[in-house]
Structure 1
């Protein structure tokens, strides 16, 4: 018979794989890999944002979900202005690299929350509107994969995708 501990371990394993991406879609890392710096701030005709704005939006949203999941006192940015950068392009290469590094660091931190057997996946947080760790993991994965697809579409429009 399948035990609850085994089910929890398998659920955690599947969530970690989902967060890393690459199963049913390209990973975020693949989507931004080798993107020419000159294209990071290009906003194609009839689209509302650049790749830089999408990358920063992913970073901000993931950070917010991470902090919400581990800090009852966390205050989320105002929606929508707090989640979308105004600048079309990063200030420089360092800003681009810092954003990518922060996305990875925050993903690793969230994955550590998932890996901690003391953190129940299903029990609602004692704050919020009934959210739990499972829901927040699915939210990060869904949100990131959605915008990763948009990054790839923009790259295709700019003839910068394999």
Structure 2
């Protein structure tokens, strides 16, 4: 894949709604609603997406990152954000992470040595693309179930 292809894939271009737009128009109280028979609230999904996006970006930056001891560590304790401020911070953190991933896509995608000798920058970006796309679908499904999808914007869904 080329730089341009990775950058488009980070946003779901030609596959699904732009990943950067899936939280648009959602207030913090609605983000904490967990529909019946639905495993996660939108807040929980955002928290989890940020956790792993930050994790992968840490590898790409050369940080020493440690995988969680238990999968539940990548999920918040509460389905509801603490406040409007924590919700807005979470969304901004996600969007900033997407921008950082786009910058990483502009570097040598074949560069190896991230977390293990054979893992490339492109490999880590692909993990991030797949993970975010999977959970973006869950966000939209959850938002549909709580009556907040589509948002009132004019973009194509």
TM-score by length of 2: 0.86
Report how many residues are paired: 150
RMSD across aligned C-alpha pairs, in angstroms?
Answer: 1.8
Larger radius of gyration: 1
Question: Structure 1 94/72 Cα, relative in aligned 2: closer, same or farther at 3 Å?
Answer: closer
Instruction: Give the distance between the partners of 1:12 and 1:64, measured in 2 at CA.
Output: 21
Asked if 1:148 is matched to 2:136, the reply is yes
Question: Could you say what secondary structure the match of 1:46 adopts?
Answer: coil
Write 1 or 2 for the structure with the bigger share of helix. 1
Instruction: Give the distance between the partners of 2:2 and 2:110, measured in 1 at CA.
Output: 11
Provide, for residues 119-160 of structure 1, a one-character-per-residue CA deviation record: whole Å limited to 9, x for no partner: x31242164263211111111111111111101111111122
Instruction: Give the distance between the partners of 1:155 and 1:72, measured in 2 at CA.
Output: 34
Question: Structure 1 125/148 Cα, relative in aligned 2: closer, same or farther at 3 Å?
Answer: same
Q: Give structure 2 stretches of 5+ with no counterpart.
A: 151-157
Deviation at 1:49, TM superposition (A): 1.1
User: What residue in structure 1 maps to residue 34 of structure 2?
Assistant: 43
Question: Structure 1 46/126 Cα, relative in aligned 2: closer, same or farther at 3 Å?
Answer: closer
User: What residue in structure 2 maps to residue 160 of structure 1?
Assistant: 148
2:123 counterpart (124, 135, 142)? 135
Provide, for residues 82-141 of structure 1, a one-character-per-residue CA deviation record: whole Å limited to 9, x for no partner: 21111111111110111111112222222222213xxx3124216426321111111111
* 1:16-55 equivalent positions in 2, closer than 5 A: 16-55=7-46
- Would you identify which runs of 4 or more consecutive aligned residues in structure 1 move more than 6 Å? none
Question: Structure 1 22/79 Cα, relative in aligned 2: closer, same or farther at 3 Å?
Answer: farther
Instruction: Give the distance between the partners of 2:5 and 2:114, measured in 1 at CA.
Output: 25
Larger RCO: 1 or 2 (CA < 8 Å, sep 6+): 2
Q: Give structure 1 stretches of 5+ with no counterpart.
A: 1-9
| Greater Cα shift, 71-80 or 147-156 | 71-80
Deviation at 1:54, TM superposition (A): 0.1
TM-score by length of 1: 0.83
